[in-house]
Structure 1
Amino acid sequence: MNALKALHTEQDQAVWLDFVARGFIAEGKLKALVEEDGLRGVTSNPSIFEKAIGASNEYDGSLKTVQEAGDSRVIDLYEGLAIEDIRNAADVLRPVYEASDGADGYVSLEVSPYLALDTEATLAEARRLHKAVSRDNLMVKVPATPAGLPAIRQLTAEGISINVTLLFAQDTYEAVANAFIDGLAERAAKGEDVSRIASVASFFISRIDSAVDKRLDAVIAAANDPDEKAALEALKGKVAIANAKLAYQRYKRLFADPRWTALAEKGAKAQRLLWASTGTKNKAYSDVLYVEELIGPNTVNTMPPATMDAFRDHGTVRASIEEDIAGAEAVMARLARAGIDIDAVARQLVEEGVQLFIDAADKLLGAVAEKRAALLGHRLDGQSLCLGDGLKSASAKAVEAWRASGAIRRLWAHDKSVWSNADEDRWLGWLRIVEDERAKAADYAAFAGWVKERGFTDAVVLGMGGSSLGPEVLAETFGHREGFPRLRILDSTNPDEVRAVEAAVNLPATLFIVASKSGSTLEPNVFRDYFLGRMKAVVGDRAGTHFVAVTDPGSAMEKAAEADGFAKIFHGVPQIGGRYSVLSAFGLVPAAAIGIDVAEFLDVARIMVRSCGPAVPPAQNPGVLLGTALGTAANTEGRDKVTIIASPGIASFGAWAEQLIAESTGKQGKGLIPIDGEPIDVPAVYGRDRFFVYLRLDGFADLQQDEAVRNLEREGHPVARITLETVEQLPQEFFRFEMATAVAGAVLGINPFDQPDVEASKIETKKLFEAAEASGALPAETPLFEDDTIALYADPRNAEALPQAAEGLEAAIRAQLARMSDGDYLALLAYVARSEGHRAVLQRARIAVRDKRRVATCLEFGPRFLHSTGQAYKGGPDSGVFLQITADPTEDLAIPGRKLGFGTVVAAQARGDFAVLAERGRRALRIHIKGGDVAAGLKRVAAALESAVG
């Protein structure tokens, strides 16, 4: 008989193995230990699984099999592997369990260390794991934290066997034992069986000596008396054993108490002390020290494989646990006199133990995430970050801070303290929207069938901002599909654009999708009024059947849609802001209308959702990595101009991302300024305030873009490369950017879900329009300069800063551009029809300014941008120089039920926008094109811009 087996047969101490791995079980090595060494149990923890799963390839085949059946969450992949191992180990130990009448033969599986401070979450997880493993000889491991104690009591009362882990202090052990006894007593009081419930209290050994020895070294170094030094030196390597021996004395007392005796008479089994962490960490100590000195009846010693091998080879079996109890008491007393508080040591070790298991869990889940990503291959959009040394180091620190604080798990748990601790928790419905909407895929399919059956040739989204920009990406990226309508977007109150949409469609065969979360936004309401009136003129009382609404439940839009007989009403989610809504009904209704398979669309998006999930540590989490890089670049290097470059087939994504980034982060004088639509050029035209994001569509990429991006990287500009294998993978990017923006907001220290300055513009616009309806016209203005085709306007502060405006357009623009400094940006805000001709003229001027002045430039069309970048322009960093361009309409367009037409609406919006820019102290000049010849006016403005930098 070897020494290991003798521990049980001679001393009634069970030997458990502190190790589990798939191959170890499959190859029969665990069974051999049971048969040859009398092994009676197995324990596991995150560190053990990290070594087994993360540091080997023996699980890769199982992971591949699971992934081939359909993509899984990282946590589900890990748990699937762990539970299979635990089940297999439990089956090997089942004969021990049966032969011992349920006293031994257990395998332990730990609740997530992330839950160590949460009683209710620990209870839920323990119940779930117990059910999932479905083995009588499972012990669920629960830490002996203050939150763990009530969970231990409750789970015991429910009949779940518990391995209590991370025990260091005698008083805590006593509390644990009482929790176990109380739980059994509650169960017995209900008349339920207590005979098949087992428990162990895992008392950690070697970690105590490691911690105490360090403290003793400090005390010894400070001591002057040689005898005192020697006495203190003699304590090293003795405290852990002394502490455990005295805990065993408490065990004997607790389980001899009449309260326990009554339970024992009903068949209850005493909770045994289990000696854990029994591998010696100090090489000066015997490698079997913590086995030989802690042998006693009705105890357990759980050993790592190396300690087990050592004890089998040269261990000595003797009844040691009750040897020299007086000496153990003397050791603890001497330690106290040395000023070392063992309870304080224990508290620290519990905290460190929880953190060590969290660190191991992070490492483990990170390894599983990497394996999942490798198995997904090109099905998961790629991401790489090329950062300079300084930014790379700062970003790595931010990523580690996110890991150490559990921020990604807290974010998914709706913890508003991740951001500014305001109301962020109310706006996180986008985190779970893909799963929620996937459950409704059949409804979207039915809607698509209805659209096809009706034979609509055109569909028009009537909306603004988040209600229109996402659908626009779908229309321009996925294109027209046979049998389904062509999708158009109307998000401008410019009468020319309204007329252009009407002229492009055949009204009797057109479906209008009116999209407004609140139902009170001005633009969707006037769009609805206009086209409902036009449809009634064409089809009569059936007009409403050509309309569907997408709005939040109970909104004014819903009530109006019901009253007007709309064909269908789809609900958004009140907990999702507009710019985060593309994966909700606001994006999915237009998607279904044009024949996109919503189920497939969401399945693709879900791949990224799971890659950014709460169980994916920051270092492997693409959303967190991108977000921390963006936020850190702005904070540490002033690189706050996020310049979006995209392959031609997905170029429209930039406008959607522009709104998301600007409206989310631009506030409180902070923020990221997105730059969309600037053609990429040589590094010399860029300042050091840029961060580039390159979305590359494999197989359809622009080779000149590729080379230009490489040049930017060579020059030290930070570049995030994102690669898509096909256009159909674009849904992943919606979620990646949503997560990255939310993370960047946290790094910047702002609330990324409100838009206070957008609301200010809406209020000002509403005030102006209502006044105009009452009086018949907008208030008169006095220009700084006026000729036959141009008028210039500014608020008093800007007028004072631009005395040159009195000299004319060219002098005013030159003076306005002179107000720019390094790190500033120029924004052209054009309240004219968003046509290719108008864009081309202003684009040339924009690029001329960039190339000559090396400043970032924005070209926006109003009022569309008001619900997008307008937030950052007013609330973000004061680095913008603004040229607002307005124009007399060529011809106004009446709105049914209103006194004034679209021309007045867009003019009120422009003035409201300008008023808030001025109120925020921005450098703004308004250029008004008179007489209706917008093209000629824009050419004059563009020429003045080019001349000013020429």
Structure 2
Amino acid sequence: MNPVKELEKHGQAVWLDFLARGFIAKGDLKQLIETDGVKGVTSNPAIFEKAIGSSDEYDAPVGKALKRGDRTVAELFEKLAVEDIQNAADVLHPVYNRLKGQDGFVSLEVSPYLANDTKGTVAEARHLWKDVDRKNLMIKVPATPEGLPAIEQLIGEGISVNITLLFAQQVYREVAEAYLAGLEKYVAGGGDPSHVASVASFFVSRIDTMVDKQLDEKIARANDPSEKERLAALKGKVAIANAKLAYQDYKRLYAGPRWEKLAAKGAKPQRLLWASTGTKNKDYSDVLYVEELIGPNTINTVPPATLDAFRDHGKLRDSLEENVEEAKAVLEELARSGISLDAITEELVKDGVKQFADAADKLYGAVASKRATVLGNAVNRQQLGLGDGLGKAVTKATEEWRASARIRRLWQRDKSVWTGTDEDKWLGWLDSAAQADVADYADYANKVKGQNFSDAVVLGMGGSSLGPEVLSETYARKAGFPKLHVLDSTDPAQVRAMEQQIDIANTVFIVSSKSGGTTEPNAMKDYFYDRVAKAVGPSVRTGHRFIAVTDPGSSLEKAAKKLNYARIFHGEPSIGGRYSVLSPFGLVPAATAGIDVGSFIGHALTMIRSCGPDVPPHENPGVQLGLAMGLAGLEGRDKVTIFSSKKIADFGAWAEQLIAESTGKEGKGLIPIEGEPLNDHSVYGNDRFFIDIRTEGEADAVHDGMLSALEKAGHPVVRILMKSIEHLGQEFFRFEMATAVAGAVLGINPFDQPDVEAAKIKTRELTAAFEKTGALPPEQPVVSTAEADLYTDESNAAALRAAGANGDLGSWIKAHLSRSQAGDYVALLGYIERDKATIGALQKMRVAVLEKRHVATAAEFGPRFLHSTGQAYKGGPDSGVFLQITADDAKDLPVPGQKASFGVIKAAQARGDFDVLTERGRRALRVHLKGGLKKGLAALNAAISEALN
């Protein structure tokens, strides 16, 4: 006699609580059906996690699935799960047919993340029902308050449901009501209820585990031996008593006129299924929850070990209706003891949802790991060398993020991930790449190619210019397409230099501004529109040389329509400028330059999937980098120092803006250090966090050795290796996600820029004064030397004089640089033409400061940095020592239709910026060079060298 098979003589079906691909493929399930009379299979995230995560039998299916195209981790798991469920359903289909649909089912669970989401549960259940496409499927839905209406809805649509996480008798009655109401709706709509099946999975052993724990605590506190004995007598009895009474409810619910009416139409009763029947307490029989719950029209779903045990030594009897009065007495005695079964079952539902979500996290982590292995270097690699302290902090935070579902909440636009203000309104960047109309970009690119333009110039600032600049500096010119340039300056010499580089009559201009009201692009637009008009003639033809990228309804859109621009591309208002590179603000310039937008987006999507809501934090590269950056910042390592290899040398300028403008506020933040050459580890303080990014094939043994030395010296070092420049889109998204995560760690809103506006207001005040009087308001230097005039406020001047500043430039520079201490940074802010010579001059100065003062350094050019690091300089930590560099323009340049020239606008921006720095109490000194820019920079360099020596 086989006790398992003999259970069917008692009216009970056995289902197996286990599923794995090899188990089905090798015929093990078929054998259990034949030898043990197994009539069903259940699955859950924990079962799939063990199957997928602890073996290699899914490696080949994962590889096969990905050969047909990359997909999200959730989609990849679903494909594997659906195949397994289909295969199991097919093996059980003869049972289903033989028993005329009374049994032979396989259960598949909706995502446990949807346990408290009625609409989400219904939508996923419908989707899974359609995808599996097997009549003997049941969709598992939890018996949560949100799950109950979903059960009624799904049954009402003719979808068979397995209700899971059911512990309480009252909730069971509500589940039965949902089933009956659903059947009535289905019948009323003309459905045949004979095709609808359902089971109510009533959990058993978990109740005893929790009750016994509370009983043990009471026994330990009890003084009366008889009280101890009374309490001990309840151990191991409550779960079975609870189940027996639920079965009595079952018999009442599926009798009487209401049920008879449905039964006459062919409806089947919703059977009770005993779940969680593996014994957890070793003091109890390993077949306790099978032997004590045998009865007609029920199911026992057992794990393989319990099945084997019952086959070996199980005892058969109709136990389910034995001692029903005693079962009532057990529960009454439990209540008298002061233990609330209702509270326990309520807690068990919450705990069950959490356990299944935890198992799903492990499951998705296992799938993510296999996906990453199969994709290999198709996903840019990231290696974190964080050391013990920071490494442990990241590990701890990773688990906190996982347990609080923070990455899923981020993707759900939950503003409580950050400060709970308006962050939910600025998360369009999460799916901007997925929503890109690749076909439209390709069509647009072909039209550009057909025009035979020699050049394309992006006129923009900050997020509108820095992403396109990376593309222009990284990608070689494409045959048949214009050469891509970017202009993001009001410096007259720089504007003139751009004009001289291009063929005005054969250039397309991309005017890029979210709001349309930004000063710099508007001035540049007016200037070049005038130049094009003079070169090509009538205004209609002029407008056709211009493209607008702007948010809907902006002033730029209105101007573009008025001037007959060739095309207007709309940005997404919920994407801030610095997060916009994977939106039209980056993709329009890319398409104009002939970069394959489809391929670019395709590579970006690979990283987006790797950072998706279904990828747990420990496998999520964007989250890992963000946690490391944010936690390092909290530990004082707030100088995020970025080294970019030659092929992607300009990437750091884009990342710099993203990090600084997103995190530098409220006196907190990360200060990105970009363009500083890698130096000996001895020159760096303990305020550094290093990121090294390069492409394959750019190996540099010396560079690698210096990085290793940094890591050995205790500095955190992140290494990112890109397959090629074609994978650049992946890094745009990785850094966007990391910055958003770092913002959450720092406790700030990473999507606003409160201190950028302050400099804009000052600039507008100064230019307005110029429009009225024809001159900027006068200003008085604190000292005037042959080389320069120096400006600062009274507080800074007093501090500098006290530090030794007197009548010569060198003394002021020395006093100013001496104010930089450990943990500070020195920023050179040049409102001068940005060209090879000036970049080299500022680099020489910053390296000297780094090597002598051992502090982080920045070399920035205005006004472009106002839309970038300017936010962090004013709103971030007060650790900056600022040296602003200005000079008279050798030759100014008028802006058509304005009194203020480019030179005046630039001067107003420099002064406005400096005024805000001093008003915020920053250590700031402005040096206005004399005698021409080249001579002035040489004099300043000499003064810095003297000061440092």
Name the TM-score class by shorter chain.
over 0.9
What is residue 669 of structure 1 aligned with on the other side?
Answer: 667
Residue pairs, 1:374-393, within 5 angstroms: 374-393=373-392
Q: Whole-Å Cα distance in 2 between the matches of residues 225 and 944 of structure 1?
A: 89
What is residue 757 of structure 2 aligned with on the other side?
Answer: 759
Query: CA shift at 1:918, angstroms?
Result: 2.0
What is residue 521 of structure 1 aligned with on the other side?
Answer: 518
- 2:193 partner SS: coil
Report how many residues are paired.
945
What is residue 903 of structure 1 aligned with on the other side?
Answer: 903
For structure 1, list consecutive stretches of 5 or more residues without a partner in the other structure.
none
Q: Are residue 944 (structure 1) and residue 943 (structure 2) matched?
A: yes
Q: Are residue 657 (structure 1) and residue 650 (structure 2) matched?
A: no
Q: Whole-Å Cα distance in 2 between the matches of residues 937 and 338 of structure 1?
A: 89
What is residue 930 of structure 1 aligned with on the other side?
Answer: 930
Query: CA shift at 1:157, angstroms?
Result: 1.3
What is residue 104 of structure 2 aligned with on the other side?
Answer: 105
Q: Whole-Å Cα distance in 2 between the matches of residues 354 and 257 of structure 1?
A: 34
Q: Are residue 17 (structure 1) and residue 20 (structure 2) matched?
A: no
Residue pairs, 1:18-417, within 5 angstroms: 18-417=17-416
**8 A contact 1:785–1:805 mirrored in 2:** no
TM-score of the two chains, using structure 2 as the length reference: 0.98
Q: Whole-Å Cα distance in 2 between the matches of residues 48 and 303 of structure 1?
A: 12
Q: Structure 1 runs of 4+ off > 3 angstroms?
A: none
- 1:195 partner SS: helix
What is residue 618 of structure 2 aligned with on the other side?
Answer: 619
Deviations 1:227-279 (A, max 9, x none): 22222222221111111111111111222243223222222211111100111
User: Among 473, 485, 492, which residue is 1:476 paired with?
Assistant: 473
What is residue 532 of structure 2 aligned with on the other side?
Answer: 535
1:759 and 1:701, CA in 2 relative to 1: closer, same or farther beyond 3 A? Answer: farther
**8 A contact 1:648–1:701 mirrored in 2:** no
The amino acid that maps onto 2:707 is V
User: Among 715, 719, 722, which residue is 2:720 paired with?
Assistant: 722
Q: Whole-Å Cα distance in 1 between the matches of residues 23 and 247 of structure 2?
A: 33
Q: Whole-Å Cα distance in 1 between the matches of residues 188 and 860 of structure 2?
A: 73
Q: Whole-Å Cα distance in 1 between the matches of residues 30 and 306 of structure 2?
A: 18
What is residue 600 of structure 1 aligned with on the other side?
Answer: 599
**8 A contact 2:785–2:809 mirrored in 1:** no
**8 A contact 1:613–1:621 mirrored in 2:** yes
Q: Whole-Å Cα distance in 2 between the matches of residues 117 and 445 of structure 1?
A: 43
Q: Whole-Å Cα distance in 2 between the matches of residues 87 and 760 of structure 1?
A: 62
The amino acid that maps onto 2:701 is L
- 2:928 partner SS: strand
- 1:753 partner SS: coil
Query: CA shift at 1:805, angstroms?
Result: 4.8
Q: Are residue 448 (structure 1) and residue 445 (structure 2) matched?
A: yes
**8 A contact 2:805–2:814 mirrored in 1:** no
Q: Please, which moves more after superposition, 98-107 or 383-392?
A: 98-107
TM-score of the two chains, using structure 1 as the length reference: 0.98
Q: Whole-Å Cα distance in 2 between the matches of residues 257 and 872 of structure 1?
A: 73
Q: Whole-Å Cα distance in 1 between the matches of residues 158 and 916 of structure 2?
A: 65
The amino acid that maps onto 2:439 is A
Q: Whole-Å Cα distance in 1 between the matches of residues 702 and 445 of structure 2?
A: 39
Q: Please, which moves more after superposition, 110-119 or 222-231?
A: 222-231
Query: CA shift at 1:97, angstroms?
Result: 1.7
Query: CA shift at 1:189, angstroms?
Result: 3.1
The amino acid that maps onto 1:832 is I
Please tell me the root mean square deviation across aligned C-alpha atoms, in Å. 1.3
Q: Whole-Å Cα distance in 1 between the matches of residues 632 and 197 of structure 2?
A: 54
Query: CA shift at 1:479, angstroms?
Result: 2.1
The amino acid that maps onto 1:742 is A
Query: CA shift at 1:79, angstroms?
Result: 0.3
Q: Please, which moves more after superposition, 297-306 or 232-241?
A: 232-241
Query: CA shift at 1:806, angstroms?
Result: 4.9
Q: Whole-Å Cα distance in 1 between the matches of residues 722 and 187 of structure 2?
A: 61
Deviations 1:900-936 (A, max 9, x none): 21000100111111122122221111111135x0111
Q: Whole-Å Cα distance in 1 between the matches of residues 209 and 92 of structure 2?
A: 33
Q: Whole-Å Cα distance in 1 between the matches of residues 102 and 581 of structure 2?
A: 56
Identical-residue share of aligned pairs (%) = 63
Q: Are residue 683 (structure 1) and residue 681 (structure 2) matched?
A: yes
Deviations 1:655-700 (A, max 9, x none): 0000000001111111110000110011110000000001022212
Q: Whole-Å Cα distance in 2 between the matches of residues 128 and 535 of structure 1?
A: 56
**8 A contact 1:623–1:740 mirrored in 2:** yes
- 1:235 partner SS: coil
The amino acid that maps onto 1:623 is G
Q: Whole-Å Cα distance in 2 between the matches of residues 449 and 330 of structure 1?
A: 82
The amino acid that maps onto 2:165 is L
**8 A contact 1:784–1:806 mirrored in 2:** no
Query: CA shift at 1:787, angstroms?
Result: 2.6
Q: Whole-Å Cα distance in 2 between the matches of residues 504 and 204 of structure 1?
A: 76
- 1:203 partner SS: strand
What is residue 490 of structure 1 aligned with on the other side?
Answer: 487
User: Among 499, 503, 523, which residue is 1:502 paired with?
Assistant: 499
Q: Are residue 778 (structure 1) and residue 780 (structure 2) matched?
A: no
Q: Whole-Å Cα distance in 1 between the matches of residues 231 and 306 of structure 2?
A: 28
Q: Please, which moves more after superposition, 292-301 or 878-887?
A: 878-887
Q: Whole-Å Cα distance in 1 between the matches of residues 651 and 581 of structure 2?
A: 12
Query: CA shift at 1:99, angstroms?
Result: 2.5
What is residue 5 of structure 2 aligned with on the other side?
Answer: 5
Q: Whole-Å Cα distance in 2 between the matches of residues 919 and 150 of structure 1?
A: 59
Q: Please, which moves more after superposition, 320-329 or 913-922?
A: 913-922
Q: Whole-Å Cα distance in 2 between the matches of residues 653 and 702 of structure 1?
A: 19
**8 A contact 2:622–2:734 mirrored in 1:** yes
Q: Whole-Å Cα distance in 2 between the matches of residues 257 and 696 of structure 1?
A: 74
What is residue 807 of structure 1 aligned with on the other side?
Answer: 807
**8 A contact 2:166–2:172 mirrored in 1:** yes
Deviations 1:117-176 (A, max 9, x none): 111111111111111111111111111111111111111111111111011111111111
The amino acid that maps onto 1:733 is E
What is residue 457 of structure 1 aligned with on the other side?
Answer: 454
**8 A contact 1:784–1:805 mirrored in 2:** no
Query: CA shift at 1:335, angstroms?
Result: 1.6
**8 A contact 1:668–1:876 mirrored in 2:** yes
Q: Whole-Å Cα distance in 2 between the matches of residues 257 and 770 of structure 1?
A: 86
Q: Whole-Å Cα distance in 2 between the matches of residues 706 and 592 of structure 1?
A: 35
